[in-house]
A and B are shown apart, each in its own frame.
Chain A
């Protein structure tokens, strides 16, 4: 029963934040005369909200592998972030940054996984 109440409170908070993002226009530094700016502005804020969850897991994670998982997911999110930024600003080199970021994030995750494998993480 207690669990349901906590779930309800969390759902209300998350839905209200999403509602604020979707229904109010928060200003951002895009050029206002380019096309599709209101849509991509909201995409931008929703992706920032997702990255906030990853940051929570990085700060709170009980063991080191949890933090590495969150860093990996944050790297994949940033690729989507770059491609969302690329269209309304009209600068297509953001997608190049996305490709380079994906490559570097993959190599970093493999290296961190190899590093974790050699250590013992007890409780």
Chain B
């Protein structure tokens, strides 16, 4: 029984390492800030959550295992919010999109003057 839990946890940790690796590779290979943010946020968040779940499976219902589960929930709530705040801040400060991009509806709507306000600390009050 214990052995099965250990092997499943190792498989989860291996899958998490695979996705972490591809996320970091995307951070180097992709051409502009938004694409990098997209690839790395998705892959690294899911990979780290998978590693933490593998840790939970290996430790079982002890104090450290429950802490790993809490850490999963916390990461899933905060990582997209910080990615969103970074993308918005970069776009407002004037970082350009990649030159082969298809369309930029946000730039045209910002020029006409209607932009949102105080979005940064929204995730704290889910």
Q: Are the C-beta atoms of B68 and A83 separated by less than 8 Å?
A: yes
Contact partners of A109 in chain B: CB under 8 A = 82, 85-86
Q: Are the C-beta atoms of A102 and B95 separated by less than 8 Å?
A: no
1/0 per residue, CB under 8 A from B, across A11-53: the answer is 0001000000000000000000000100100010011011101
**Cα distance A22–B9 when bound, in Å?**
19
Q: Are the C-beta atoms of A53 and B25 separated by less than 8 Å?
A: yes
Assess A54 versus B24: contact at CB under 8 Å? Given A65-B33, A92-B63, A117-B88: yes
1/0 per residue, CB under 8 A from B, across A70-95: the answer is 10110011011001101100001001
Contact partners of A103 in chain B: CB under 8 A = 74
**Cα distance A81–B28 when bound, in Å?**
20
Total A-B contacts with CB atoms under 8 angstroms apart:
146
**Cα distance A119–B75 when bound, in Å?**
28
Contact residues, B72-112 vs A (CB, 8 A): 74-75, 78-79, 81-83, 85-86, 88-90, 92-95
Contact partners of A122 in chain B: CB under 8 A = 94
**Cα distance A43–B47 when bound, in Å?**
13
Chain B minimum-CB-distance residue to A92: B64
Q: Are the C-beta atoms of B24 and A53 separated by less than 8 Å?
A: yes
**Cα distance A120–B96 when bound, in Å?**
12
A99 within 8 A of B: yes
**Cα distance A70–B23 when bound, in Å?**
11
Nearest Cβ on chain A to B23's Cβ, whole angstroms: 7
Chain B positions within 8 Å of A, measured between CB atoms, are 6, 10, 13, 16-17, 20-21, 23-25, 27-28, 33, 36-37, 40-41, 44-45, 47-48, 51-52, 55, 58-59, 62-64, 67-68, 70-71, 74-75, 78-79, 81-83, 85-86, 88-90, 92-95, 120-121
* A80-B47, A102-B74, A114-B85 known, 13 other contacts, Cβ within 8 Å: A43-B13, A46-B21, A54-B24, A54-B27, A57-B27, A73-B40, A73-B41, A77-B48, A99-B71, A102-B78, A106-B82, A117-B92, A121-B94
